[in-house]
């Protein structure tokens, strides 16, 4: 393999994905003397626009922003963001049901055995409270409270708070653009008219813009969204369709006026042919209706969305079409797909931004020489496939574990066959409430347990060690956790007050309830 250095990186597409790539790579490659070795150019067209409609995230984004040198308060001011402690699921198991998936652990283990095992014994004896009552994230979120984890209280629930953010994805992209350009990234405005190939291999040699300009490069990052201009239209990577497991194929998105209280969590409400998101930002609420066109018409979906908003809509609903699935290869030759160009899993658990982040990290770990090593490319594709499939399983779980029988859509979801990897997890949990986390899969045991229990899956048994402890002692232990969590949550400020004191966007009063 040639060890000649790769010098020219070209990012195709802006938006949050493209500028996340540009900001991260420029931080790595263009610092100190790096500008003598590398150039990074991003091509985007204002005419095309981006998908970004507002984002919920998971806690890993904090590490990404930190690696870029971005302070949390600055990030939230620039993106008009809010804090997120988890997701409330309404109506997913049955109409009227609700549960909370929080970002913190639930309870405390005993003798290395997870808390949920003991909770199941208490539940069988009639002494268990709602599972969410033992989680600081869940209790605080549902009271509308927030505080950052207290570093001086490592053994208290206040030191174990896990948080992510809601923010405006378009503003995040613009913010990262400014930082990336300051770090040396060159932005080129234009539409790509032709992709030029190397006649000796499958590599991309350059991009001809519609005005005739030629952009040459050594490594091309496809952030062109669902168009997949390079990875699919040019490199023919192939697409594995998951619509039989995830039948939703459309979404309508619309912002609405702000409303108090400013909730520190995303809400996902099941509808007759899909679900509706609610993401509170400082200046508005982001709303969307994800649905299956096989079970609901666009007009009906819009009526459902607009009739259930908390406030006046601020625009007309925007229609997005998609197909759940992944590219069979996300790195082909000298082209790497990142973001929606690499595949799509609906944002039910807020994984879209994380998938961009993890792809960037993976690319940095396997960053190539100009010769491109087949082993590196194979490792990248294998790791990407594993990550996407395991996230897919977690999303499918929400649909499969429903008792709803009130619409053809939910009947289909309840009865559909599922991936073997998910079936194995369900069988293991159904028997004795065990979760086996495989390798580097994203969601931890706590997440799987909260969703499985929340969706109404009660295991047949629990770990036999749980029977060693006297029931009164276990009951006192669990009640103590619940009491401490409740008292800690009560000391936390309201979410809107915390934002007003630390990271409120500067340009408007975001907490005035419209009249």
Nearest C-alpha neighbor of 327 from the set 204, 202, 419, 236 = 236
The span from the CA of 334 to the CA of 230, in Å, is: 10
Residue 148 scores a pLDDT above 60: yes
Instruction: Report, as an integer, the average pLDDT of 325-338.
Output: 98
As annotated, the active-site residues are 84
Per-residue pLDDT band at 507 (split at 50, 70, 90): low
Quote the tokens at residue 215: 């952009």
- What is this structure's pTM? 0.95
Instruction: Name the range with the highest mean pLDDT among 45-49, 188-192, 504-508.
Output: 188-192
Match 């599972």 to its residue by tokens. 131
pLDDT, residue 151, reads 87
Structural domains present in the chain: 8-54+168-238+328-372 (3.50.50.60), 95-160+250-321+400-515 (3.50.50.60)
Residue 53 scores a pLDDT above 70: no
The C-alpha angle 474, 480, 485, rounded to 5 degrees, equals 130
Tens-place pLDDT, residues 476-490: 999 999 999 999 999
Tens-place pLDDT, residues 247-286: 999 999 999 999 999 999 999 999 999 999 999 999 999 9
Tens-place pLDDT, residues 153-190: 888 999 999 999 999 999 999 999 999 999 999 999 99
DSSP letter for each residue of 317-368: -EEEE---EEES-SEETTEEE-GGGGEE--GGGS-HHHHHHHHHHHHHHTPP
Cα–Cα distances in angstroms (integers) from residue 353 to residues 20, 166, 356, 357, in the given order: 9, 11, 5, 6
pLDDT, residue 4, reads 73
């Amino acid at each position: 393999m040639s060890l000649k250095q790769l010098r020219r990186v070209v990012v195709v597409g802006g938006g949050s994905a493209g500028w996340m790539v540009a900001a991260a790579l420029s931080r790595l490659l263009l610092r100190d003397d790096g500008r003598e070795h590398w150039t990074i150019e991003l091509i985007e067209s204002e005419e095309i626009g981006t998908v970004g409609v507002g984002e919920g995230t998971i806690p890993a984004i904090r590490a990404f922003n930190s690696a870029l040198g971005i302070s949390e308060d600055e990030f939230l001011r620039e993106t008009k963001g809010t804090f997120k402690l988890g997701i409330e699921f309404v109506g997913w198991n049955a109409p009227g049901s609700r549960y909370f998936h929080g970002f913190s652990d639930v309870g405390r283990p005993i003798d290395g055995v997870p808390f949920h095992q003991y909770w199941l014994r208490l539940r069988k004896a009639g002494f268990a409270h709602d599972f969410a009552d033992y989680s600081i994230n869940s209790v605080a979120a549902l009271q509308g409270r927030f505080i950052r984890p207290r570093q001086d209280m490592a053994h208290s629930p206040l030191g174990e708070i896990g948080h992510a953010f809601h923010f405006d994805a378009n503003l995040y992209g613009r913010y990262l653009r400014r930082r990336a350009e300051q770090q040396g990234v060159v932005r080129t405005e234009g539409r790509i008219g032709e992709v030029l190939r190397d006649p000796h291999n499958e590599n991309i040699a350059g991009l001809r813009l519609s005005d005739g300009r030629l952009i040459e490069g050594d490594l091309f990052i496809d952030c062109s969204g669902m168009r997949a201009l390079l990875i699919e239209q040019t490199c023919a990577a192939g697409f594995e369709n998951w619509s039989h497991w995830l039948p939703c194929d459309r979404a309508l998105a619309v912002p609405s006026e702000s409303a108090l209280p400013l909730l520190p969590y995303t809400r996902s409400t099941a509808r007759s042919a899909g679900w509706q998101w609610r993401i509170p930002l400082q200046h508005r609420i982001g709303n969307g209706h994800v649905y299956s066109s096989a079970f609901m018409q666009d007009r009906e979906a819009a009526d459902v969305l607009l009739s259930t908003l908390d406030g006046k809509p601020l625009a007309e609903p925007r229609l997005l079409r998609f197909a759940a699935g992944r590219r069979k290869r996300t790195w082909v030759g000298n082209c790497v797909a990142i973001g929606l160009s690499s595949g799509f899993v609906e944002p039910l658990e807020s994984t879209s931004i994380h998938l961009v982040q993890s792809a960037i990290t993976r690319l940095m770990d396997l960053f190539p020489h100009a010769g491109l090593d087949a082993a590196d490319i194979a490792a990248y594709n294998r790791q990407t496939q594993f990550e996407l499939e395991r996230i897919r399983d977690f999303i499918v779980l929400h649909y499969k574990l429903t008792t709803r029988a009130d619409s053809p859509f939910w009947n289909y979801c309840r009865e559909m066959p599922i991936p073997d990897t998910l079936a194995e997890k369900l069988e293991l949990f159904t028997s004795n409430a065990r979760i086996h986390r495989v390798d580097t899969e994203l969601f931890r045991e706590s997440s799987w347990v909260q969703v499985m229990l929340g969706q109404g899956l009660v295991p047949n048994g629990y770990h036999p060690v749980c029977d060693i402890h006297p029931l009164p002692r276990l009951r006192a232990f669990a009640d103590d956790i619940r009491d401490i969590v409740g008292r800690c949550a009560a000391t936390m400020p309201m979410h809107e007050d915390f934002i007003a004191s630390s990271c409120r966007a500067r340009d408007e009063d975001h907490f005035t309830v419209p009249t």
